[in-house]
Structure 1
């Protein structure tokens, strides 16, 4: 009788142990399955977000290709400050926005706009002269003359090596201290700016809205901001007249009442029909035309597309530069 009870007790203990083991295995398998489901769900969600952001890029390229041929006030507003909703894809549970940020006139804040940015509004670091880079760095970064000269010299040294005009402004063995030599070649990406002697992440973020490496070096006078026009050599009075002409009666850029220059050779004539120009101001604009530094249309565009699900905080961003002449992307970054 005792042996029978012992046997039953042993069977019960074994059954409980087996049940516990099975329960443990079930919980473990459940956790693993849940982790895999969450992983696949996350990957699927990220894939869908990328698809949304990519759709925004394609939409932007389509709109650029359809509207860039001739620049008029409505097209300028549409491309750079869209109010029609064309640069938004608003679905039932998702939203794609194609937008960019640009510094305010006082450089103290940023303003967001729907649309794209033409790269030719910026100063091309591969084509700009020492004095142009110096002036841009001075005005945008708020540096004193000597500091601006030093950084501009470092840009030229990175691009071309040591030139006679910059020797006096270079720090001794600057790149030797940084453990790498200057490239002595054209900028291939804007991220190379961070390798230039004297540049920091903060200075980079402040300078980047005003510089490019795309295009032929000519600056679009219809869209260029004050610091870029100043870097080209235009003085304050004539720049203000250019900006006032562009902005129209409401004094706002990229709005319906804007004026546009129809060709670089028309700038003086159109300005004179708008306001009075001194001979000195005429000479400043003429000098830029003679040196082929101005244009009135753009071919390279920065696109930023953000895809988002409305019930989630996850965002996928694609930033790219589109060459509308050769119909190809020159830069692509996913965030």
Structure 2
């Protein structure tokens, strides 16, 4: 057996204790934040969570790139390429957004997607990503984000105790005050219980040649939505 030859399918995620964890196999895209559909508040919560500099400006630049607001100042033309004014085709396209650095992209890439309808799978979402969703809701309702932290923590603790949820009435947590209730109710409008889009990343090594294949498969339509070899 050649020790220099191998193939593996794995993904890195951040667990609820903010530690890097490797998952082997496919991973669903609905556990992530869809940057094509995310609101201004959710995008801001995402960037702030990962300590991205100039977060407010970058949110505006994302919305301009998506076509949500006009590029009146021609910021992309000044960078030497046209503003897309449409949805992101893939997450790598985020690197074209003004003020996003390569380091910013690397911090964000495991938590974002361009697939799905913007709903989050409550059974597979990480604590970190659920907290970001809750923070986005808190921002939209002008509620202190500490209440969002509490709601996300209670949901994940219940899931850890009882396992996967099948319907919303199983997410029976004790809410403290109107603020938590408002965040929880709006969050419940944004969840699903199973996913349709799955990322598969396979890495192989033969002698000194290393290759990687990334693909996104939609099980509902039974087709490959994305394929990339490097």
Given the two structures, how large is their TM-score scaled by the length of structure 1? 0.58
Cα deviation, residue 113, structure 1: 1.7
Q: In 2 relative to 1, CA 236–114 (structure 1 residues): closer, same or farther, beyond 3 Å?
A: same
Report if the CA contact (8 A) 2:15-2:126 is conserved: no
Q: Which residue is equivalent to 2:28? A: 118
Structure with greater strand share of residues: 2
* Residue 271 of structure 1, aligned match among 155, 172, 175: 172
Q: Which residue is equivalent to 1:229? A: 130
- 2:218 corresponds to 1:323: yes
Q: Which residue is equivalent to 1:247? A: 160
Structure 2: how far apart are the matches of 1:303 and 1:160? Answer: 30
Q: Which residue is equivalent to 2:144? A: none
Given the two structures, how large is their TM-score scaled by the length of structure 2? 0.83
* Residue 160 of structure 1, aligned match among 34, 51, 67: 67
Structure with greater helix share of residues: 1
Report if the CA contact (8 A) 1:136-1:227 is conserved: no
| Bigger shift: residues 129-138 or 224-233 | 224-233
Report if the CA contact (8 A) 2:11-2:23 is conserved: yes
- 2:203 corresponds to 1:306: yes
Q: Which residue is equivalent to 2:141? A: none
RMSD: 2.4
Larger RCO, structure (CA 8 Å, separation 6 or more):
2
Structure 2: how far apart are the matches of 1:216 and 1:151? Answer: 23
Structure 1: how far apart are the matches of 2:111 and 2:213? Answer: 20
Task: Structure 1 unaligned segments of length 5 or more: list them.
Answer: 1-91, 249-257
Cα deviation, residue 111, structure 1: 2.1
- 2:106 corresponds to 1:205: yes
Report if the CA contact (8 A) 1:271-1:277 is conserved: no
Structure 2: how far apart are the matches of 1:302 and 1:204? Answer: 18
Task: Structure 2 unaligned segments of length 5 or more: list them.
Answer: 139-147
Report if the CA contact (8 A) 2:14-2:126 is conserved: no
Q: Which residue is equivalent to 2:229? A: 334
- 2:155 corresponds to 1:282: no
SS across alignment from 2:42: helix
Matched ranges for 1:185-200 at <5 A: 185-200=86-101
* Structure label with greater radius of gyration: 1
- 2:77 corresponds to 1:180: no
